[in-house]
Amino acid sequence: MHIKQQETERHTLSVTVDNEAGVLARIAGMFTARGYNIDSLTVADVTEDDSISRITIVTTGTPAVIEQVVAQLDRLVNVHRVIDLTERGNFVERELALVKVAGTGEHRIEALRLAEVYRARVVDATTGSFVFEVTGASEKIDKFIELMSEIGLIEVARTGVAAIVRGKEAV
Amino acid sequence: MTTEMSGADILIQALNDQGVEVVFGYPGGAVLPIYDALFNQQRIKHILVRQEGGAAHAAEGYARSTGKPGVVLVTSGPGATNAITGIADAMMDSIPMVVITGQVGTPLIGSDAFQECDTVGITRHVTKHNYLVKDPAKLGDIIHEAFHIATSGRPGPVVIDLPKDVQVATAPYRRTNVNALPHRGYKPQVKGDLAQIEEAVELLANAERPMIYTGGGIINSGPGASLILRELVRLTGAPVTSTLMGLGALPASSPHWLGMLGMHGTYEANMAMNKCDVMLCLGARFDDRVTGRLDAFSPESKKIHIDIDRASINKTVRVDLPIIGDVGRVMEDMVKLWKAKELRPRDLKPWWATIKTWQERNCLAYPEKLDSGEIVPQLAIRKLWEATHRQQPIITTEVGQHQMWAAQHFDFESPNKWLTSGGLGTMGYGLPAAIGAQLGNPKALVIDIAGEASIQMNIQEMGTATQYRLPVKIFILNNEYMGMVRQWQDLTYGSRYSESYSDSLPDFVKLAEAYGWKGIRIETPDQLEQGIADMLAHDGPVMVDCMVAKMANCFPMIPSGAAHTDMILDPAQVSGVMDDEAKALV
Ligand SMILES: Cc1ncc(C[n+]2csc(CCOP(=O)(O)OP(=O)(O)O)c2C)c(N)n1
Ligand SMILES: [Mg+2]
């Protein structure tokens, strides 16, 4: 017997929650308990009194699973609102990465040239290495890292995705 | 100015303000301040169980039979972990429950202190919500919110983990207004969308083959929901089936009643689900035990699903018309709309004629006698029903064949009389649940229909019944097997009875006597009626050891992963082995 796999989609969800102890464990734990995927998760409080946090989750699953993820998140007592940005459309998504690259001579020059194309900033430099800061959609960062790996990639730190709907309205 | 009280006193005061009458608990180091506060008051009755698991199931039985939340009080570490099965059970079956667990003092949390465990972490996925209280000033609000969350929306268990220093420290307490509770985001939707309800009513009125499928949500919605269901059934003329959890919402004597559906449901209920053109699902959740093979589940029907839990919608079965709201309220609106629009059902005679042909299969028939001379288990249940049904008894069960036979052959006429572990399927539920039900309904006849294996899982609670003079009855269908396991081994594993024999059983009659109960043994069919009469005549707890046919299996049955139409009606159809795909299904 073999276990069958189904077609999946990538969705970005925006979740507003009460900013209190344990809320992240509840959300992350719900994903593991129900066998859902988290591709990335970012969290920070976003109100002046620090009472509400905004969590951005990127998840993949079949359409039915995504619908369940949203409903299950909504069911948690500390969750105020869940918005499936991918479903809604018209939103911007950004991620920041720090990319460490080592090399000398031609490699160094090539790294700087590529960084310029990707509008990556140098935030640390030694004679043998650079740390670049690059922001953008996840695919752009993936691509940048892929190029750097041919040059001398040492390590990467990524923030995960933050996302917001375009236009003047708040969601 | 409000005077300051200790955390323990705040707890007792808040429980009083919530109208709590009974607490099921067990003391220990981390809850001693609370037990001392209990000692100084009379209003709350504390029931000392014999194991914390018993406390949680007793609270479930109390809640399910009274409609009020069950309350549990246990110590930290092992007290909390022992209660977890009952908490998980309440989560699966949507039982309102508030569990207070002691915790080591806040400075010790995280240090692997004596009897410390991460109760909030461990119970996170088996509770509707949980709290670790670090500030006594917040305790009052948290307790009130816990009751609100446990009882509103889709009910469920809520755990409050209370460190010992928070029980001792003082703070002011005021009775909280529910609208001022900490979690403003929690707002269950009670009223359904009227446009959708209108659509639902139209669909039903135009159905040629309507079918109503009810679940535990109707019981949770309160007795009013069961009454309005009767009205809805009368107006629409539709046949009705129910899940295990929803039995009693519609009286079994109703001409519209087709019996339970699902794995051990009736032929007519499952066939009607398969062939209907409009399905109205009321507070049920399309559980795998109910649907059978999903791609063959009711292929021709438009499905209307009414549920208070949005996450239950489209979880396993895609529905055409979801309505989120309290099932009782939505049914009320349906009835109102139906009447206002002066709707009439279509001619349902052909549909009922088809149903009649299924009913004529008489799928629940059983032999009255066996050549072996053994007692037929279904007959034992039926005799128990005959002797007791006029008293409207509360029936609890353990888990196994006896549970399914009870569901099939004991008829319920009203809600809150049938207490069984449906979602989690917890052996050991029945006895403590019966104790809780008896406490909530002191005058009622409460019977635990048990198996000889299950009853041993919480047998220690016999002592609790003795202590509080609770006249609960345990009726064991003793087949000397974990019958349901043996049945699956018959069906799937070529009758290789791996570890399913109940060896070294105690003498249940002597055991009963040792606990101060009356013990009765029924060994032959001719002793059945007298044995039951003796059980009922005794004014106190009774354990009946009813020896039944050892190898009987429970039918009808839809093997897991099969369609409703592939029902096994009698043992001769049993094949004995299954392929790996079938074996992989639970
Ligand atoms: C706590 C727990 N452990 C294991 C099971 C699996 N299980 C389901 S039914 C059953 C056998 C029950 O035997 P008995 O109580 O004698 O009931 P019978 O089926 O014979 O009527 C078992 C082991 C369970 N449901 N619950
Ligand atoms: Mg048995």
Are residues B352 and B483 located together in one domain of the fold? no
Residue B507 within any structural domain of the chain: yes
Interface test with A, best of B103, B142, B315 (most A CBs within 10 A): B315
How much distance in Å is there from the Cα of B450 to the middle of ligand 1? 10
- Ligand 1 pocket: which residues have CB below 6 Å? B 398-402, 425-427, 451-454, 477, 479, 481-485
Side-chain half-sphere exposure of A101, counting CA atoms within 13 A: 31
Mean pLDDT of B501-513: 98
Residue B302 within any structural domain of the chain: yes
Q: Is B579 a residue whose pLDDT tops 80? A: no
With the C-alpha atoms ordered B418, B422, B427, B429, is the resulting torsion angle positive or negative?
Answer: negative
Q: Helices in B442-505 by DSSP H: which ranges?
A: 462-467, 483-492
Of B180, B202, B225, the residue that ends a domain is B180
List chain A residues with pLDDT less than 50: none
- Contact check, Cβ <8 Å, A33/B149: no
Interface test with A, best of B124, B145, B305, B316 (most A CBs within 10 A): B124
Q: How many domains does chain A have?
A: 2
Task: Phi first, then psi: give them for residue B521, nearest 5 degrees.
Answer: -115, 135
Residue B365 within any structural domain of the chain: no
Asked if B106 and B134 touch (Cβ cutoff 8 Å), the reply is: yes
pLDDT score of A6? 82
DSSP H or E stretch at residue B57: helix B52-66
Query: Which residues of chain B are within 8 Å of residue A22 when distances are taken between CB atoms?
Result: 120, 132
Are residues A98 and A34 located together in one domain of the fold? no
Q: Helices in B468-527 by DSSP H: which ranges?
A: 483-492, 508-514
Are residues B167 and B214 located together in one domain of the fold? no
Minimal Cα distance from B183: which residue of A? A78
Residue nearest to atom 8 of ligand 1 (CA): B400
Q: What is the pLDDT of residues A5-53, one digit of tens each?
A: 888 999 999 999 999 989 999 999 999 999 999 999 999 998 889 899 9
Are residues A122 and A78 located together in one domain of the fold? no
Query: Which residues of chain A are within 8 Å of residue B580 when distances are taken between CB atoms?
Result: 1
Residue nearest to atom 20 of ligand 1 (CA): B483
Q: What CATH number is given to the structural domain containing B452? A: 3.40.50.970
Nearest ligand atom owner, CA of B405: 1
Q: Is B546 a residue whose pLDDT tops 90? A: yes
Are residues A132 and A149 located together in one domain of the fold? yes
Are residues B171 and B203 located together in one domain of the fold? no
Are residues A81 and A101 located together in one domain of the fold? no
**Interface check A28 vs B, CB under 8 A:** no
Asked if B216 and B94 touch (Cβ cutoff 8 Å), the reply is: yes
User: Strand, coil or helix: what is B443?
Assistant: coil
Cα(B338)–Cα(B197) distance, rounded to whole angstroms? Answer: 10
Are residues B211 and B345 located together in one domain of the fold? yes
Of A59, A88, A117, the residue that ends a domain is A88
Q: What CATH number is given to the structural domain containing A137? A: 3.30.70.1150
Are residues A75 and A105 located together in one domain of the fold? no
Minimal Cα distance from B579: which residue of A? A1
A62's CB contacts (< 8 A; 6+ apart) are A6, A7, A8, A9
Are residues B442 and B518 located together in one domain of the fold? yes
Q: What is the pLDDT of residues B446-462, one digit of tens each?
A: 999 999 999 999 999 99
Are residues A64 and A133 located together in one domain of the fold? no
pLDDT score of A170? 84
pLDDT score of B455? 98
Of A66, A88, A110, the residue that ends a domain is A88
Residue A35 carries which side chain, given as an amino acid letter? G
Are residues A79 and A109 located together in one domain of the fold? no
- What pTM does this model have? 0.95
Place B574 in a pLDDT band, splitting at 50, 70 and 90: low
Are residues B388 and B514 located together in one domain of the fold? yes
Distance between terminal CA atoms of chain A?
46
- Contact check, Cβ <8 Å, B182/A64: no
Residue A2 within any structural domain of the chain: no
Q: What CATH number is given to the structural domain containing B318? A: 3.40.50.1220
Residue B573 within any structural domain of the chain: no
**Interface check A62 vs B, CB under 8 A:** no
Of B330, B359, B388, the residue that ends a domain is B359
Cα(B51)–Cα(B57) distance, rounded to whole angstroms? Answer: 10
Are residues B205 and B85 located together in one domain of the fold? no
How much distance in Å is there from the Cα of B290 to the middle of ligand 2? 23
Of A37, A56, A88, the residue that ends a domain is A88
Catalytic residues of B: 52, 114-115, 164, 484
A32's CB contacts (< 8 A; 6+ apart) are none
Are residues A76 and A100 located together in one domain of the fold? no
Supply the range of the domain harboring residue B152.
4-180
Asked if A131 and A122 touch (Cβ cutoff 8 Å), the reply is: yes
With the C-alpha atoms ordered A18, A20, A24, A25, is the resulting torsion angle positive or negative?
Answer: negative
Residue B583 within any structural domain of the chain: no
Cα A120 from chain centre = 18
Are residues B244 and B152 located together in one domain of the fold? no
Residue B366 within any structural domain of the chain: no
Are residues A100 and A72 located together in one domain of the fold? no
CB under 5 Å of ion ligand 2: residues: B 451-452, 479, 483
Are residues B219 and B172 located together in one domain of the fold? no
Are residues B261 and B340 located together in one domain of the fold? yes
Residue B545 within any structural domain of the chain: yes
Burial class (CB in 10 A: 0-12, 13-18, 19+), B340: exposed
Are residues B385 and B470 located together in one domain of the fold? yes
Are residues A159 and A98 located together in one domain of the fold? yes
Supply the range of the domain harboring residue A135.
92-164
Tell me, letter by letter, the H, E, C secondary structure of B198-255. HHHHHHHHCCCCEEEEECHHHHHCCHHHHHHHHHHHHHHCCCEEECHHHCCCCCCCCC
With the C-alpha atoms ordered B326, A30, B285, B389, is the resulting torsion angle positive or negative?
Answer: negative
Per the model's pLDDT, the better-predicted residue between B331 and B40 turns out to be B331
Are residues B341 and B387 located together in one domain of the fold? no
pLDDT score of B573? 63
Residue A127 within any structural domain of the chain: yes
Residue B91 within any structural domain of the chain: yes
pLDDT score of B391? 97
pLDDT score of B576? 65
Q: How many domains does chain B have?
A: 3
User: Strand, coil or helix: what is B60?
Assistant: helix
Are residues A80 and A33 located together in one domain of the fold? yes
Query: Which residues of chain B are within 8 Å of residue A64 when distances are taken between CB atoms?
Result: 314, 318
Are residues A79 and A42 located together in one domain of the fold? yes
Q: What is the pLDDT of residues B413-472, one digit of tens each?
A: 999 999 999 999 999 999 999 999 999 999 999 999 999 999 999 999 999 999 999 999
- Contact check, Cβ <8 Å, B129/A33: no
Q: What CATH number is given to the structural domain containing A21? A: 3.30.70.260
pLDDT score of B586? 62
Minimal Cα distance from A80: which residue of B? B185
